[in-house]
Amino acid sequence: MTAGKCASLRIVIALALVFSMCLASAAFAEPAAPTIPAFPAIYDGTVKAADGTAIVSGTVKAYINNEVKGEVAIKSGAYQDLIVTGEQDQIVTFKVVVNGNEYTAISDPAQVKFAIGAVSGDNFPMVNLTVNLTGASQVSLSAPTASPVPGKYSAGVKVSFKSATTGAKIYYTTDDTSPVDSQSKKEYTAPIAVTSTTIFKAVAEKDNLYSAVKTFAYSIGAGGAPSSGGNNQDASTEPEEPGSTNEDTNQEPPADNNIDVSFTDLNGHWAEATIKALAGKQIITGYPDNTFMPGKNITRAECAVILARALNLNAESETVLDTFSDQAGIPQWSRQALAAAVNDGLLKGYPAPGGGVAVNAQNNITRQELAVIMSRILNQKLGVQEKAELTFADNSAIAAWASEDIAIAVANGIVKGYSDNTFKPGNNVTRAEVAAMVSRLLDLLE
């Protein structure tokens, strides 16, 4: 294949990726037709320290107007296929992340102007980067995070921003302008009530240094993903934890955001009080018709959303999801929560055909899978836990990889067996059951 054909193929692939991201974001905003983006630019180059040694690992980020427009991993002192979107002749700057720290890079050529369809090595030069890893060029500002997790909600929410950088101010806009220099930018001082679809752009600032600009989209209305679901509750010795389907966006609500919640289908249900308590904290939510559907099964994505809300998990980046072979099938509303759960080691993947790893986001979560996740949380938050001796009649049905974690979850009373002394490890978890399990977990963590 000639260099020209190769460059064209790279552009086509890049455009397809960019267009798919536009479609995903459009699915989540008001019903405006997605616009076809301009051709992106694709940059390649080397990355070295000021002393000339190659930087063998890390991340290269491309910025336009202080907003991240693309990022890619460094491999063996170089980066390749950094896909950047922008407008013709905008100035592109580069930063390099090494060991969690972000540094301003000096580029060669010294000034890079965005050019539609530019491809390094074909119609554009390589962009080689040099980084002073010991100088004042280090950028330590942590980008803002948002709570609750962005996504679709069936009712209004109060959005809070924070930065891990002490003393940093946060500025935001809601009109698609840059929060760095827009005349419409506002300083964040208190939670913001969101009652209609809103897209925030937010940035952290300290001593005239700015973090990366982050975008947080909230969609309010009947299409909002509901929390967990379920209606086929087993009669366990103590009702088991459930899961949900079509969980509202990953939300991590503030602990003091209690509201009075009632559902039309919970009267007399064994988990009614627990569900209402968690719903009052916006850890779980109901459906637009004011039902909860306690017996409905819950997916792995929905479970990640609930755990992100309960544990106040947040992810600054969703790039960890790119490691999964089925990442394209992850619902947009769950991506940030899933990324946070994966980053925290709570969710892991399964072997996939072709040697990859799949996260199976839309698969129903089973009792043994959720028990394993709960055990991981306990070990992380409270240290190594004692294990119970498992004496269930169906012990042989428990997967070897789940046995020890189930023993920990049982020892802590988070998960229990059924009245016939079975555990039913492969049973799907219902919305009511997940509410019970999460409630027990939070009681232990208090």
What pLDDT digit, counting tens, does each position of 112-145 carry?
A: 999 888 887 777 789 999 988 775 444 456 778 8
User: pLDDT digit string (tens) for 174-195?
Assistant: 988 888 878 889 999 999 999 8
Of 81, 105, 139, the residue at which a domain comes to its end is: 139
Neighbouring residues of 54: CB distance < 8 A, sequence distance ≥ 6:
46, 47, 48, 76, 77, 78
pLDDT at res. 140 = 53
- Give 18 or 230, the one with higher predicted confidence: 18
166 pLDDT higher than 70 = yes
Query: Is the same domain home to 191 and 317?
Result: no
Q: Is residue 245 part of a domain?
A: no
Output phi, psi for 198, to 5 deg.
-140, 135
171: β partners: 187, 203
Query: Is the same domain home to 281 and 415?
Result: yes
Query: Is the same domain home to 207 and 279?
Result: no
Output phi, psi for 74, to 5 deg.
-90, 135
pLDDT at res. 203 = 87
Local confidence band at 150 (pLDDT 50, 70, 90 cut-offs): confident
Tell which residue, 441, 439, 445, 296, has the closest CA to residue 365. Answer: 296
Local confidence band at 376 (pLDDT 50, 70, 90 cut-offs): very high
Q: Is residue 348 part of a domain?
A: yes
What percent of the chain has pLDDT above 90? 30
Tally of domains in the chain: 3
pLDDT at res. 224 = 47
Domain that includes residue 160, residue range: 145-220
User: pLDDT digit string (tens) for 311-367?
Assistant: 988 877 888 898 888 888 888 888 889 999 998 889 888 888 777 888 999 999 999
Query: Is the same domain home to 186 and 308?
Result: no
pLDDT at res. 222 = 56
Query: Is the same domain home to 132 and 54?
Result: yes
Provide the 3-class DSSP secondary structure of residue 341: helix
pLDDT at res. 11 = 52
User: pLDDT digit string (tens) for 241-263?
Assistant: 333 333 333 333 333 344 456 78
Size of the chain, expressed as the number of residues it contains:
446
Six-digit token string for 86 = 């922008």
User: pLDDT digit string (tens) for 18-68?
Assistant: 444 444 444 333 334 444 445 788 999 999 988 888 998 888 999 888 788
Query: Is the same domain home to 129 and 182?
Result: no
Tell which residue, 102, 98, 94, has the closest CA to residue 127. Answer: 94
Strand 41-49 versus strand 128-131 pairing type: parallel
Q: Do 332 and 27 form a contact (C-beta atoms < 8 A)?
A: yes
pLDDT at res. 23 = 42
Six-digit token string for 226 = 């509901």
Q: How far apart are the first and last CA of the chain?
A: 61
Local confidence band at 231 (pLDDT 50, 70, 90 cut-offs): very low
- Give 12 or 106, the one with higher predicted confidence: 106
- Residue 105 belongs to domain with CATH number: 2.60.40.1120
239 pLDDT higher than 50 = no
Query: Is the same domain home to 44 and 88?
Result: yes
